[in-house]
Amino acid sequence: MPQRPVVGLAMQTQEAVPGQLPASWVMGQAYVRALTAAGAVPWLVPLLPDDEDTLRAAYERLDGVFLTGGVDIDPAAYGEERRPVCDRPDPARDWTELTLVRWAVADGKPVFGICRGMQVINVACGGSLYQDVAGQHPRAIKHDYFSPPATWPRDHLAHAVRVEPGSRLGRLLGAERVEVNSLHHQGVKRLAPGLVATAFAPDGLIEGIERPGSSFLVGVQWHPEELTEAHAAMRRLFAGFVEAVGVADGRRSGIPA
Ligand code: MN
């Protein structure tokens, strides 16, 4: 039986809660369960920005890199001042994820990014973000179905996206139009060189990106991990990523794919 491919996920910082919890790293369960259901072995990667050797050692054992949702990336990573609408950053996580993506891009190791993860891919490759879509993107529709009063479930289908049919994303989804959830207030402003936009919200905001070519580098702005039970197309995103991870793993091990 073939080995199940190993997919790394950088965790996120949880500040200490006095009397309850020391400073910790945490991970949303839905991401891990979606990867496990698709056949991957998820590995949670700690945030050690002062220890690149350990991150590199972990990276070299990974067959693929997965990037989850979370707080805003520090705009310094794309050369901007932080606006008041921008979250308090998680610098340890920014460093960990940007470093993992740059290594994976250089090596052709598969990468799949969700929400913040798509934004990390864009920034790591040289693009920039809207720090607040509602305030900065012309004609923006509502994308922040998480902010108070938050009465929407995480699987609430908030808007349609138009998908480029010839893209890897379009082939995986098997549809040119899908309904998606939307739990973000930032988005891609300047697309990084070498990446293409593959999905768009009705206001034109980019909701999918990828790098054309043989290696799997895909990001989506919505949260498919919340939609896998009810929507086969969303399960196919995870299945396609894990399949690509397995193929890449086999190639490195000298096993015919
Ligand atoms: Mn959206």
Question: Active-site residue among 86, 115, 184, 226?
Answer: 115
Give the helix/strand (H/E) hosting 144: none
Task: Using the mean position of ligand 1's atoms as its centre, give its distance from the Cα of residue 111 in Å.
Answer: 21
Marked catalytic residue, from 143, 184, 185, 223: 223
pLDDT at 104 over 70: yes
Look at residue 250 and tell me whether its pLDDT is greater than 90.
Answer: no
Span 19-36, pLDDT tens digits: 999 999 999 999 999 999
Q: What is the pLDDT of residue 5?
A: 96
**Catalytic residue from among 97, 207, 210, 225:** 225
The yes-or-no verdict on residue 51 having pLDDT over 50 is yes
pLDDT at 151: 84
Instruction: Note residues around ion ligand 1 (Cβ under 5 angstroms).
Output: 143, 182
* The model's pTM: 0.95
Give the other-Cβ count within 10 Å of 129's Cβ: 24
pLDDT in tens, 230-243: 999 999 999 999 99
- pLDDT higher than 50, residue 116: yes
Q: Which residue has the higher pLDDT, 149 or 225?
A: 225
Task: Tell me what the pLDDT averaged over the chain comes to.
Answer: 95
Ligand 1 centre to CA of 253 (Å) is 39
- Ligand 1 centroid–CA 144 distance in Å is 7
Q: Specify whether 115 is catalytic.
A: yes
